[in-house]
């Protein structure tokens, strides 16, 4: 029996349906989650996201989903944030001013400072720095798609790092049942499907 994976649909999400298709390719049954009551029966939860930290948090708070996601995470069921979805797991963001995040991960979201063009867009690899079931079978030769101008700055719970234009940034985090990926698995071809399969196997 396939698991039911909830994908949070909030105003800043944008890529809900591409993520849903990729999860289905990995073997999941997907349920789009817009309200807290939609979380009933959800085995695992994915928070997508493109856009700004402040807009994403505003949408989550106004819909009541911020409290629902925090409560969901406390049940120890797996939660995966992707791109902006990873960033809003942090304590605070500094995009267009200071905005409180969901505070499920200790960290700050700040603009990338590097010699390369920002946003960082395109395929890049991972340097796995901590053992995690989410990245099982992933090697340094696997390429993942990135598209972001901001990064999560933190020094704990890091599972992978990525280097762009000589600048090393956090590309993956895990704190217990909570996971975050800066890259887009749904745009990362077979390597991304493998990550989703790992998430389903948790």
pLDDT at 13: 63
153 CB burial (10 A radius; 0-12, 13-18, 19+): middle
| DSSP output for 109-174 | EEE--SSS-SSEEEEE--EE-S--GGGTT--TT--EEEEESEEEE-SSSEEEEEEETTEEEEEEEE
Q: Does the annotation count 83 as an active-site position?
A: yes
Q: Which member of 83, 95, 120, 151 is catalytic?
A: 83
Q: Does the annotation count 108 as an active-site position?
A: no
Q: Which member of 59, 95, 151, 186 is catalytic?
A: 186
Q: Does the annotation count 186 as an active-site position?
A: yes
The CATH number that applies at residue 76 is: 3.40.50.880
**How many domains are contained in the chain?**
1
CA end-to-end span of the chain: 15
Q: Which member of 59, 95, 151, 184 is catalytic?
A: 184
pLDDT at 106: 93
φ/ψ bin of 97: left (φ > 0), alpha (ψ from -120 to 50), beta (otherwise) = left
Q: What is the pTM of this model?
A: 0.96
* pLDDT per residue rounded down to tens, the chain (202 residues): 568 999 999 876 668 989 999 999 999 999 999 999 999 999 999 999 888 999 999 999 999 999 999 999 999 999 999 999 999 999 999 999 999 999 999 999 999 999 999 999 999 999 999 999 999 999 999 999 999 999 999 888 999 999 999 999 999 999 999 999 999 999 999 999 999 999 999 9
Q: What is the span of the domain harbouring residue 111?
A: 4-201
What's the CA dihedral at 35, 54, 188, 46 to 10 degrees? -20
Classified as helix, coil or strand, 50 is: coil
Q: Give bridge partners of residue 124 from the DSSP assignment.
A: 144
pLDDT at 1: 58
Asked if residue 161 lies in contact with residue 171, where contact means CB atoms within 8 angstroms, the answer is yes
Going from the C-alpha of 148 to that of each of 22, 32, 181, the distances in angstroms are: 20, 24, 12
Which value, in Å, is the radius of gyration of the alpha carbons in the chain?
15
């Amino acid at each position: 029996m396939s698991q039911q994976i909830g994908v949070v649909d909030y105003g800043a999400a944008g890529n809900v349906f591409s993520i849903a298709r990729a999860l289905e390719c990995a073997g999941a049954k997907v349920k789009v989650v817009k309200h807290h009551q939609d979380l009933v029966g959800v085995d695992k939860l994915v928070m997508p996201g493109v856009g700004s930290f402040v807009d994403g948090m505003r949408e989550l708070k106004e819909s009541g989903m911020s409290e629902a996601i925090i409560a969901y995470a406390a049940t120890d069921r797996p939660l995966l944030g992707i791109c902006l979805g990873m960033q809003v797991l942090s304590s605070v963001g500094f995009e267009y001013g200071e905005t409180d995040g969901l505070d499920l991960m200790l960290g700050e979201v700040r603009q990338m400072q590097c010699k390369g063009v920002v946003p960082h867009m395109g395929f890049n690899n991972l340097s796995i720095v901590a053992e995690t079931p989410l990245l099982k079978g992933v090697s340094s030769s696997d390429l993942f798609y990135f598209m972001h101008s901001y990064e999560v700055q933190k020094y704990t719970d890091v599972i992978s790092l990525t280097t762009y234009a000589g600048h090393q940034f956090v590309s993956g985090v895990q704190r217990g049942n909570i996971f975050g990926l800066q890259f887009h698995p749904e745009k990362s071809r077979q390597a991304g499907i493998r990550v989703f399969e790992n998430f389903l196997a948790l």
